[in-house]
Chains A and B, each alone.
Chain A
């Protein structure tokens, strides 16, 4: 029963999200001067909050009805906290062995986004006819900034299923809170991001005269929202990935589409339809905030961040609950 409720709630969440598209101001009035976030977006915000409240209120009760897994969210988190040495140890070993048989080692982390953005920038400026400058910032720098933060969400979501399935031989033999497997993967991704970020700051300073600024204090928040959002998705994907084999290719396609919708374009060059897509896409909002700080040295839009955070927390909660409710069934279904 519980699982069906969660599915129903997910349906509601997604449909609300899509239906509030129509509240977008620019959808009706193309000429309207677009502000960062219209007042009409507030209902969307309120609905999400309401759904969020409903989750908090309902799902633990549903969990308690279950005969076996009757523990509350807090109990799960306490258990997780008590196993933090396992997370540290596992993460440490994974990082050690990660680049054991590579020649370039940790360089891969920065090489991949750098080459991708160089190729993309070359293609778009030479073939498509972009001017090579977006909002007074070189297109390469624009792409690199977007890619580095986008990769956090991208990797976490795409590697969720693989990391759970790869640990199945341990999961089927001993008990530990299963989310640790995903948390270790998130840890790896974050370490990669830190390296990429430092390299990006250096490249920006050396080649594009873009220097660190005071607004960098907002960066941990943005990364945190990004991780919460993608971890929420990762929990859902990891569980359904055990049930359905064709989820992974589908996910790859979705992430590819999201990549084009979020990384390539800026708000200033987008059409009104594209702006709507930008505004309902939390990844794009996070990317925008990240670029605001790193490239344009201005504070991020608070309401945008709050919207993304709200969705992220909701997804994290739903995902974690779904994951924990089904935790003892992993061995049966895999």
Chain B
């Protein structure tokens, strides 16, 4: 499987993402700068974490309106898988590829720690190597991860099984509605998540709980 990592100015987790994709998938992903006018023909597009455009206006708002996002939207409509982690998730919601919005953490604090994540839907292209209800460890590092959606939208993503990751009981670091940590679009080929699975893929990280996400996608 071929993958690409898209880099916007201000992102800082692209190296970790490239390492995870290469170590688990066996081949290095293409790294695409946001100004590039073409995106290689890949099966998986990843938008990593960081602080695109300094989080000016709203986290992810400026990157979401870039021409590169039009290309990504077009590929997503054609069924290409898209993964957004942390700022990548914020960018995907701002671009309208995923419903809802990520607001300032309820605590107002930047949260950098490990949380427990519950797999809320293992029947997706991203979570097939996990099982429903399984609890995994995963690091988070964000200031704006407080998921919010209007009542109707929330009901619809819950009813459609689009909530894929939830913070396990007592683990919600940001005040997210329904403990939501990651969601897909209705079609299931776009996933956004606040936690960083790319940072828990080998024993040197202290665990490998994030590995199955990439293994399922890439192999």
Whether chains A and B associate is no
